[in-house]
Amino acid sequence: MKIILGVCGFGLGHSTRQRPVLEGLLARGHDVMLVTNDQSHDVFTRHFPQVPNAQVYVPVIHATSDGLDFSATADDPRNDQPRAHRAFWTACGEVERRFGTPDLVISDYDMVSAQIAYLFGVPLVTLDQQSKFLGYECPSFDGFTPGEHRRRLGYFFPKAALRVATSFFTLDYPPVPEFPVMVIPPILGRDVAGRDPAPVTGEVTVYLSTASHVIQRLEEIVALFGQLTDHHFTCFVDADVEHLPANVTLRPGSRSAFVDSLSRSEAVVSTAGHNLITEAAYLRVPMFLVPFHHYEQQLNARIVTESGIGCAAEVLTRENLSAFLGSLDHHRRMRQQTTRLFPTYDGDRVFLDLVEQMPRERAET
């Protein structure tokens, strides 16, 4: 099939998830063209130079606890992008020259590739982890609701031939009939899948991006780590700290170094992103999560704490971090006992099989 794969470029989670999907599509003989922006364009240009890659631009959309902040979105200077319209039509021209008309568009939270699907009149398949908030009555709690995600998804993808959500946890919430969503197991990058964890006592991996919504300053967090001298903290952050304790190492955001560190750590301290939780759960690494102040990460943290595989807090303190590091055996036992997590991590294979079934199903109807 002639397939367009659109990948959101805000953060690296979407690119990490879509690398094995792209590799699988290519291995199965499909002709693929990428539509990417921001970080996803950099990642796929670097690692897949042989795959055509149209760079596009998407708006930065601001959210509230239960919806979207229209004024902040309008006022964000990043949305004054004069190249956006030209880039869209250029991408459409590249699609037409390569494919004529594509057979299918797959989008991981990328709205431009969805617009291309509508323009060419071809089926759109969404593959992300947010669609479960549209397709299921996910609970509201502590002032957080899935309203933001429902509005984003409704704006980005008002129509789709198939909506697929990958998830590290199983869903027992009622489905929303208007928006059927198929939930599949999580998708692991090739650099994690098949890796055997080899935890070293006292080793802790930390991922708290300077661009995150964590309310504590990096200097304060690093000073806190310095008080826990029985542990060594490898912090992946693109920043410097003037006074660095002897038991803290700062590393730039290298994917390979991060995966190596995580696989030999006995614990991880991080924000509550879906991909990181998936990888930590696969490697059986207990998690201390500091979630962003929005629904998705708050729900992720809630699932992790309720299943017993980690804990969460709004801020790090010596007391709560010490308590977590003292209960790692408990979290490891719960990882073996919980039924809330998906038992398999083959979401990419499941998804690729679904995609290849679509032409047969359409022919039969």
Query: Which is nearest to 129 in space by CA: 356, 297, 259?
Result: 297
Strand order in the sheet with 310-312: 248-251, 232-236, 203-207, 267-270, 287-289, 310-312
Tokens of 270: 């991080």
Domains 2-187+345-364 and 203-337 in one fold: yes
Burial status of residue 318 (CB atoms within 10 A of its CB: 0-12, 13-18, 19 or more): exposed
Between 274-282 and 255-263, two packed helices, what is the crossing angle to 10 degrees? 40
SS3 state of residue 249: strand
Query: Which is nearest to 301 in space by CA: 330, 333, 269?
Result: 269
Q: pTM above 0.85?
A: yes
Give the model's pLDDT for residue 358.
86
Phi, psi for residue 250 in degrees, rounded to 5? -100, 130
Query: Which is nearest to 221 in space by CA: 201, 211, 231, 235?
Result: 235
Give the model's pLDDT for residue 67.
85
Tokens of 183: 């939930």
Give the model's pLDDT for residue 365.
56
- CA–CA separation, 5 and 110 (whole Å): 9
Give the model's pLDDT for residue 216.
85
Give the model's pLDDT for residue 264.
97
How do the pLDDT tens digits run along the chain, 365 residues long?
A: 999 999 999 888 899 999 999 999 999 999 999 999 999 999 999 999 999 999 999 999 988 877 889 999 999 999 998 889 999 999 999 999 999 999 999 999 999 999 999 999 999 999 999 999 999 999 999 889 999 899 999 999 999 999 999 999 999 999 999 999 999 999 998 899 989 999 999 999 999 865 556 778 889 999 999 999 999 999 998 888 888 999 999 998 788 999 999 999 999 999 999 999 999 999 999 999 999 888 999 999 999 999 999 999 999 999 999 999 999 999 999 999 999 999 999 999 999 999 999 876 665 55
- CA–CA separation, 318 and 189 (whole Å): 33
* Domain ranges within the chain, ordered by starting residue: 2-187+345-364, 203-337
Check: CATH 3.40.50.300 for 2-187+345-364? no
SS3 state of residue 16: helix
Tokens of 304: 């992790």
Give the model's pLDDT for residue 101.
97
- CA–CA separation, 149 and 140 (whole Å): 12
The CATH fold assigned to 203-337 is Rossmann fold (3.40.50)
- CA–CA separation, 168 and 174 (whole Å): 18
